Amino acid sequence: MIAMTRIDGGRRFAALACLAMAASLGASGCSGGSAHEVDPSRARDALVTALDAWKRGEDSKSIPAMTIQDLDWQRGAKLEGYEILGEGQSKGANLSVQVKLKIAAAPGKKAVEKPVYYLVGTSPSVTVFRDTLRR
């Protein structure tokens, strides 16, 4: 048999207040503030800056004002051209932008066109990451 104990009114209120506070903290997350919204115009400019640097043959670390991650670029692939498809879609702190890349192939072979997505953030810092989960 389970023994039941009676909780007086003050303790019951304190217990309910603790539960309510725990529930509100869980619902709000641990960030302590709202996420930074992306600046779409600045994000598109950052993407163009990054892709133009790749096309010129520069290293992905050549733009110190940005953090750039693209495995093809970092592995030494040569970018012959690119086409940004649309304005992109805001996804909270990032702008998701579809791009058609034209990657150079081995000599004597045709360049490969590759549709990809980039996630570009503008705050608190500028980031350009290939979205490897979308194809």
What does the block give as tokens for 43?
């994000």
Q: What architecture (CATH level 2) is domain 40-130?
A: Roll (3.10)
What does the block give as tokens for 86?
């649309």
What does the block give as tokens for 45?
């400019």
Burial of 24 (0-12, 13-18, 19+ CB in 10 A): exposed
Domain ranges across the chain:
40-130
Compute the average pLDDT of residues 22-37: 52
CA distance 100 to 82: 5
From residue 15, how far is each of 6, 10, 20, 68 by CA, in Å?
13, 9, 9, 49
Each residue's pLDDT tens digit, 47-89: 999 999 999 999 999 999 999 999 999 999 999 999 999 999 9
What does the block give as tokens for 91?
């996804």
Contacting residues for 97 by C-beta, under 8 A, at least 6 apart? 43, 44, 47, 84, 85, 86, 87, 88, 89, 117, 118, 120
Pick from 116, 91, 88: nearest CA to 102: 116
Each residue's pLDDT tens digit, 40-57: 999 999 999 999 999 999
pLDDT band at 17 (very low <50, low <70, confident <90, very high): very low
At position 91, the amino acid (one-letter code) is K
